[in-house]
Amino acid sequence: MQPSSNAPEERHGPLAGLRVVEVSAFVAAPLASMTLAQLGAEVIRIDPLGGSIDYHRWPETEHGESLYWASLNKGKRSVTLPLDTPEGQRAAADIICADGDGAGILITNLPARGWLDYEQLSARRPDLIMMRLLGNHDGSPAVDYSVNCASGFPHATGTGPEPVNHVLPSWDVAAGLYLTVGLLAAERRRQETGHGQEVTLALSDAMLATVGNLGYLADVQINGASREPGGNSLYGAFGRDFSTADARSVMVVAITTRQFRALGRATGLTEKLEMTGPLMDVDLTTEGGRYAARHAIAAVLEPWFAARTLAEVRAVFHGSGVLWGPYQTFRQLVEEDPRCSTQNPLFSWVDQPGIGILLAPGSPLVFSGDPTPAAAPAPRLGADTDTLHSPVPQPVSG
């Protein structure tokens, strides 16, 4: 299969005609704008000369090209300007406030002062939409790692009293997707009224909203309970990891009674599994009952998995209705999982400048009436500077 040649200038998809400018770094804001680009919006990322603070973030190639940066900036256009000079700042403001019905939209996680001040920019373009990511609601700084430690989840992760961080920047991801929803809501309001607005989102509020929406804040207030760590057991239902004969691990989940019965049929252990209910004096037709009996259920299942390889488990569970999945390293995900391949329409081959040919994901959203574009490579840093704005004179030293 040939790498995608879908140039960033050729916009297709449900958001074609929308023009978004991004002045940001790290995960949340770049993810938000890339999500829009993958749906057809024209996204222009503006960086200082030489790249922003995330331009060389790991992982990177042996030649120092950031795979992180390339992966979070797919399908965008890139402009570099001397943003520490008045000339560079004016040039950036020109791009942000450019004419056009779908233009005048900015995403940033930088301090909104000086040339990035909403009042200054909206004075030039009154219908400007500015999406601004904060750390905390009071404007104080925060990053995913400083937010996650306060969320309660590290104390509910692992098996003991010591908090355990996870490596997924979940609050950055959640905040990035919140930003896209907020932007589309503000753009719809602008279409209706002709008015723009500044929309702010605090990273810590994305965390707090999630903890509250999952019921954990209410659990403390109403029940006086704070969720304890349970290892790899699924909280409130049955689910756990099991080791196979070839030293692989699998996760098995049975949230509903139907799923629990499918697990019994597939393994041939229905009768033994049903015995755990009376043994533990619980009702196995309820999620709470299966959770209370989780250790007894696992004791019945452990020898079955230990006697079979991953391939044998896969063969037995195929088409059985059992919810399960293998634990995989990133390498195993790439090399073994057919979902991470061009068998899945999510992926296509792209020729990434400076790096090479990569299998890259596009948007995971599938529209029946307006197909989303294939994945496109990230631009070379500054590749669109001359096209989108006249070169800014560089300061003379000496």
Q: Which residues are catalytic?
A: 172
Give me 190's structure tokens. 């602008």
Closest CA to 91 of 51, 48, 123, 132: 48
Q: Which secondary structure element, helix H or strand E, spans residue 267, and what is its range?
A: helix 257-267
Residue 146 burial (10 A CB sphere; 0-12, 13-18, 19+): middle
CA distance 205 to 139: 12
Q: Where do we find the tokens 């942000």?
A: 96
Cβ-Cβ contacts under 8 Å for 250 (sequence gap 6 or more) = 241, 242, 244, 305, 310, 313, 324, 325, 326, 327
Question: Which residues sit opposite 238 in a β-bridge?
Answer: 254
Q: Which secondary structure element, helix H or strand E, spans residue 358, and what is its range?
A: strand 356-361
CA distance 392 to 320: 64
Q: Which secondary structure element, helix H or strand E, spans residue 386, and what is its range?
A: helix 385-388
300, 272 contact by CB (below 8 A): yes
Q: Where do we find the tokens 């995900």?
A: 333
Cβ-Cβ contacts under 8 Å for 5 (sequence gap 6 or more) = 351
Q: Which secondary structure element, helix H or strand E, spans residue 316, and what is its range?
A: helix 310-317
Q: Where do we find the tokens 């702010």?
A: 200
Within the chain, how many helices (H) and strands (E) appear?
16, 11
Q: What are phi and psi of 252, to 5 degrees?
A: -120, 135
CA distance 179 to 31: 9
236, 156 contact by CB (below 8 A): no
Q: Computed from CA positions of residues 276, 278, 284, 290, in that sequence, does the dihedral angle turn out positive or negative?
A: negative
Question: Which residues sit opposite 107 in a β-bridge?
Answer: 22, 131
